[in-house]
Structure 1
Amino acid sequence: MRARSLLAALTLTLGGLAGAAGYTVQTGDTLYNVARRSGSTVEALMALNRLSTSTLQLGQVLTLPGGVSALPPLPPAGSVGTVAQPGPAAVQPAAQVLGPAPQTAPVVLSATPIRAPQRPTSTRLERGLFTPSRLPVAAGPTLRAASTGGGFGARPQSVYLQVGYEAQTFNNCGPASVASVMRAFGKQVSQRDYQQVLRPTGGYTQTRDVSDLLVRQGFRAPLRRSGTVEAIKDELAAGHPVIVLQYHSVYGKTPHFRVVRGYDETQGILIMSDSISGPNVALTERDFDVLWDMQGRQYIPVSRG
C-alpha cells in the first residue's frame, strides 16, 4: 500500500513537471522583443535561461519571469503599416508588401496585462555594427502575424527599402543622410547641396533643421521623440525610410545621423545606410536601442508630401 501511494505521488509530481511550460518562440520573435513584452530585459532573460547568445530558434522554449507561457502583442507604436484582411490577396496600398495575405483565425492571447517595456540595463553592445550575411528581398517580403497591436494587423517579417548612399565628408553625416533619403524618392542630390543649410557655421547638424529642410523640399518629415524599435519597423513597413540620431558604434561617443532602410526579424536586426560605415550595415535590435539612448531617441520618418 505504501509503495502504491509513493508511486501515485511520483506520477502526480512528474505530470506537474511535464505540464509546466515556458514560452515557445514564434516566427518573428527576437530576444529583445520577448524581453520587452514580458517586462524584462535581454540580460535578465539570458541569465534566467543560461543563454550564451541572443539568437533564438523557432520552437525554442524560454523561461520567463513569473512563469508566463504566452505574451500579449506590443501596444501600437506608430502607424501599423500593412493590414492583412480575411480572404485572398488583401493588403493595404500604403505598404511595401506584395502578394496575398493568408486568412487567419482569431488567436486567443494570454490575459497577462501588458507591462511597461524596459530599456536595456547595460550599455555594452552584444555585437556592434556588422555586415549582415543576407539582405531581405526588396520586392516582396512575407507577411507574418501582427506584433504591434490588437486586431488582425500584420507587418512584413522583413523590409528592405531602396535608398541612396553617399560616403560623408568630415562631420557631414546629417547632409549625407538627407541626400540618401531624397535619392530614395528620385531626387538626385548630394551632401554638398545642403551642407551650407544644415551646417552654416561648420558645426553639428540639428535634428530640427533636418526635419524643416525636408518639409521645405516637399516631404512629410515629422521630428519625433521617445522612439522605439517597433515604431521604426512600422514606418519601414509603410515604406518610409527613417533618419535617426544615435551614437555611431560606442555608447557615449560620436553622435551620428544615419538612415534606417530595413529590418529582418528572422535575424533580429535593423539595416542602415550609414555614411561612415557603408550602405548596408546592421545592428541587432538591442544594440540599436542602446546606441539610440541619447537626446530623447529622436527619429524622422520620411515620406512624400
Structure 2
Amino acid sequence: MNIRRLLILFILGSAGAQTTYTVQAGDTLSSVARRYQTTPVALLTLNALPSTTIQVGQTLQLPPPPQHTVQAGETLYSIARQAGTTPEALIALNGLQNSTLQVGQTLRLTGGPRPSDATSTTPPVVTTTPPTLTRPPPTPPVAGRLERGLFTPQRLPAFTDVLLRTASLGGPRPASAYLPKVGFGYQTLNNCGPAAVAAAMNAYGVPADQRTWQERLRPTGGNMSTEAAGALLTELGFDAPALRGGTIEAVKRHVADGHPVIVLQYHSVLGKPPHFRVVRGYDDTQGILIMSDSLSGPNVALTERDFDLLWNTQGRQYLPVEPPQG
C-alpha cells in the first residue's frame, strides 16, 4: 500500500472516530504511535509537527485505523500483501472464521475499533485514556535503566513467504516478520559467539553447532570478535560484513528480507557481560525484537528501547547474514 493510499484511508476510513491524546511525562512520538497502533509518520502528518519532539500537555490528534473495502477479484492473500501484513493477522484482527471474503466487506488493516463499531450510529466517545493493549503500557523510562529487560513474547509474528518477497523487492517493510529456521542451542562457557554463528547458519540449512567453528572463532579461548565471525562466514560463501553504528530499522529490514542478524550487546545488565545473540523476528505492534539467545532461550524478546540501550554501549556492532549469491 503506497503512502498516498494509506493517508487517504487514515483520513476517510472511519468518519467521526478520530480521538485526541494528551502527552504525558515520558511519552515519545514513537511510544504514542505504538500505543495507538499507528506510525510516527502518520502522527507527524496529521498534527503538522515540525519534528518528532513532543511536549508534556500537548494534544495530539489520533488517526482512525485504516480500513479496506473488498473489491471483486481480491483475496485475503492479495489484501494482506498490499497492506504489508499477513492473512493470519487479518483473520485474527477481523474475527474471521476463514479466508473467504465477500465483495463490499470492510476489513480492518491495523488495530482499532472494528468496522462494525466504526459504522455504529452511537456517537464515538472521545477519551484520553489509552486503549487496552496486549501488554500493559510501560512506566515512564528512567534514563540509563532498562524498561523491561529480557522476556518471552506474548505471541510470535506470523511467518509467510509474502513478507520476504515484498521486502526483498523493495516494497513496504511488513509490520512483523519471523524467521522460523534460525537455530538454537544452549551455550557452553563463554561460547555465545560460535553459538550465534551456528544459529544464523542453520537458517540456511547449514548443519553447524557451537563446537563446529569454536577453535577458529576463539583460537585463544577469549571472546569472539564480529570481525572474526564476518571473516569466517565470508570464507564459507555467505555475505556477512561486520558492521558498526547499526539502527533498529536496519535490523528489521534485514529480518524482513529473510536474513538473520547477529548482534553484540550486553546480555541483560548494562556493563556486563558482552553477549552475541541472533535477531530472528520483530513485531511493531508489541514494539519488540525477538532473538535466539544461547543463554536465555530460542525465543526471547526485548523492547526496542531496551534493545537499543544494551546495543548502544557495544558500538551497535552487527552482522546481517545473507546467503551466498548465485
**What's the TM-score, normalizing by structure 2?**
0.59
Q: How many angstroms apart in 2 are the aligned matches of 1:223 and 1:170?
A: 24
Letter in 2 for 1:139: T
Post-superposition CA distance 1:153-178 (Å, at most 9, x none): 41111100020001100000000001
Corresponding residue number in structure 2 for 1:138 = 159
CA deviations on 1:226-283 (whole Å, 9 max, x unpaired) are: 1111111011111110000000001111000000000011100000000000000000
**For residue 185 of structure 2, what is the aligned residue in structure 1?**
166
Q: What is the 5 A alignment of 1:172-187?
A: 172-187=191-206
1:1-305 mapped onto 2 (5 Å cutoff): 44-45=26-27, 56-58=35-37, 65=54, 100-102=81-83, 122-139=143-160, 153-161=171-179, 162-305=181-324
- 1:65 deviates by 2.1
Where structure 2 has 5 or more consecutive residues not aligned to the other structure, the ranges are 1-18, 48-52, 63-72, 85-140
Cα 1:54–1:157 shift into 2, 3 Å: closer
Tell me, yes or no, if the aligned pair for 1:98 and 1:140 is still in contact at 8 Å: no
Deviation at 1:298, TM superposition (A): 0.7
Closer, same or farther in 2 for the Cα pair 1:210/1:56, shift >3 Å? Answer: same
Distance in 2 (CA, whole Å) between partners of 1:54 and 1:123 is: 23
Alignment deviations for residues 178-211 of structure 1 (CA, whole Å, 9 cap, x no partner)? 1101111011111111110011111111110011
Give secondary structure in 1 for the equivalent of 2:272.
Answer: coil
TM-score normalised by structure 1 residue count: 0.63
Q: Is the 8 A contact 1:260 1:273 kept in 2?
A: yes
| Counterpart code for 2:227 | R
Measured in 2, the distance between the counterparts of 1:182 and 1:54 equals: 35
Q: Which runs of 5+ in 1 are unaligned?
A: 1-20, 25-34, 36-41, 72-86, 92-96, 104-119, 147-151
1:224 positional shift? 1.2
Q: Label 1:102 to 1:287 Cα distance change in 2 as closer, same or farther (>3 A).
A: closer
Change (3 A) 1:271 1:102: closer
Check conservation: 1:271, 1:280, Cα contact below 8 A.
Answer: yes
55 and 183 in structure 1: CA distance in 2 versus 1, 3 angstrom threshold: same
Distance 1:182 1:142 in 2: 21
The secondary structure found in structure 2 opposite 1:209 is: helix
- Equivalenced residue count is 221
**In the aligned structure 2, how far is the partner of 1:217 from the partner of 1:286?**
34
Q: How big is each residue's C-alpha offset from its partner over 1:34-84, in whole Å with a ceiling of 9 and x where there is no partner?
A: x9xxxxxx97426x9xx9x9961337999962669589xxxxxxxxxxxxx
8 Å CA contact 1:98–1:139 kept in 2: the answer is: no
Q: Structure 1 CA distance, aligned partners of 2:209 and 2:38?
A: 47
Letter of the structure 1 residue corresponding to residue 291 of structure 2: M
Q: Distance in 1 between matches of 2:282 and 2:311?
A: 16
Distance 2:277 2:306 in 1: 15
Q: What is the CA RMSD across the aligned residues, in angstroms?
A: 3.9
Q: Percent identity, aligned pairs only?
A: 55
Greater RCO, 1 or 2 (C-alpha within 8 Å, sep 6+): 1
Cα distance in 1 for residues equivalent to 2:308 and 2:215: 31
Contact (CA 8 Å) 1:163, 1:261: kept in 2 or not? yes
Q: Could you say which residue in structure 2 is the equivalent of 1:117? A: none
CA distance in 2, matches of 1:43, 1:217: 50
